[in-house]
Amino acid sequence: MARLRSFQRLAAHFVDIADFLLVYIEEAHPSDGWVSSDAAYNIPKHQCLQDRLRAAQLMREGAPDCPLAVDTMDNASSAAYGAYFERLYIIQEEKVMYQGGRGPEGYKISELRTWLDQYKTRLQSPSTVVIQV
């Protein structure tokens, strides 16, 4: 949940230059599967989309101001983005501009913040225009 709060703070800080979206995918440590000793929630493996939608509401509670999407039961988004189980992306004009490492070890809000800071600086910097006459 701390990671989600960090993400929420980041999204609030950069709301002027970026749109943020959370995508809830399959549960990393379902209570009836590979259980983590530090799991914050008791969520069983999703058997249907309704199960996944219910579990996704917990994510919404952690980041209420951020839009939330839910992956399909065939895990199409997770497979397409290699999100298994947490990952950060920046996508501009249908192109991946930043791809964070796979979570949990590679999930680094600080890297995403650095990228967004640099991007914001580029947006605010006057660019040189050359006019040929």
Distance CA 47, CA 76 (A): 16
2-20 pLDDT, tens digit per residue, is 788 888 899 999 999 999 9
> Residue 131 domain-assigned?
no
In a domain, 6, yes or no: yes
Residue 66 in domain? yes
Average pLDDT over residues 106-119: 94
Strand partners, 90: 98
Which ranges constitute the DSSP H helices of the chain?
2-13, 49-62, 76-81, 109-124
Provide the domain limits for residue 76: 1-112
DSSP designation for 130: -
pLDDT tens-digit series, residues 39-57: 566 788 889 999 999 999 8
Residue 133 pLDDT exceeds 70: no
Residue 26 · residue 46 · CB < 8 Å: yes
Confidence (pLDDT) at 130: 64
- Average pLDDT for the chain: 86
Q: How many domains is the chain built from?
A: 1
Structural domain contains residue 90:
yes
CATH number for position 17: 3.40.30.10
